[in-house]
Amino acid sequence: MAQLLILEFPDPRLRTRASAVNPAWLHEPATQRLIDDMFETMYEAPGIGLAASQVDVHRRFMVIDVSEEKDQPLVFVNPVITARSGEQIYQEGCLSVPGIFADVARAERITVTALDRSGSAFELQTDGLLAVCIQHEIDHLEGKLFVDYLSPLKREMVRKKLAKQRKQTDAA
Ligand code: GNR
Ligand code: NI
């Protein structure tokens, strides 16, 4: 197992639109290792989700675990939201935008279809934090970040704050 490097805003690679996963690719040992490495990277961060885009793999899949005990790993391959209803506002963070938190409005309840890591299709109806996380990760696959929901001025403040944080970390 290995920890992977997480791309950070405003890295232009985070703007790449990921392409569909060929189900045959899931049967390759290297792919299964990549999924394991993404879970390790997510748990170590620590985070509740990680999209392939964030580790510079521009394929449509993500790993998620929103459980308290960190014992409910979920893999979504080629996820599609087929129904959405209601609205919830959640204070979001992102491993690609470290140390920044902001309220984002998203659907409260969603239905998502996807393949699991072995290539089997499933459908999930969910709400609350898991629904927020799935929407956040699918945004990554589209090259979209939660800071894109903020005003351009706020987004510029985020960019400057991260640049300053990095300067301090690099100097230390
Ligand atoms: O770890 C994460 N926490 C989080 C909190 C609120 C809304 C979304 C998230 S996802 C984030 C991990 C991440 O950046 N996934 O892309
Ligand atoms: Ni994120």
Name the closest ligand to CA 93: 1
Which atom of ligand 1 is nearest to 45's Cα?
1
Q: What is the pLDDT of residues 105-155, one digit of tens each?
A: 999 999 999 999 999 999 999 999 999 999 999 999 999 999 999 999 999
pLDDT of residue 116: 99
Closest by CA to 63, choosing from 146, 145, 136, is 136
137 is catalytic: yes
pLDDT of residue 25: 98
How much of the chain exceeds pLDDT 70, in percent? 100
Number of other residues whose CB lies within 10 A of the CB of residue 80: 12
Residues with Cβ–ion distance below 5 A, ligand 2: 94
**Residue type for 25, please?**
W
Q: Which residues in 82-93 are b (16+ Cβ under 10 Å) and which e?
A: eeeeeebebebb
Question: In angstroms, what CA-CA distances link 50 with 45, 157, 170?
Answer: 10, 24, 25
pLDDT of residue 73: 98
161 band by pLDDT with thresholds 50, 70 and 90: very high
Determine the distance separating the centroid of ligand 2 and the alpha carbon of 140, expressed in angstroms: 7
The active-site residue out of 40, 68, 137, 142 is 137
169 band by pLDDT with thresholds 50, 70 and 90: confident
CA pair distance 83, 135, nearest whole angstrom: 12
pLDDT of residue 83: 99
What's the mean pLDDT in 35-48? 98
**Ligand 1 pocket test target in 129, 133, 158, 162 with most atoms within 8 Å of CB:** 133
Residues with CB under 6 Å of ligand 1 are 47-51, 54, 90, 92-96, 132-133, 136-137, 140
CB 44 within 8 A of CB 55: no
Name the closest ligand to CA 147: 2
What's the mean pLDDT in 72-100? 98
What's the mean pLDDT in 76-80? 99
pLDDT of residue 132: 99
Tell me: pLDDT of 1 over 90: no
pLDDT of residue 172: 79
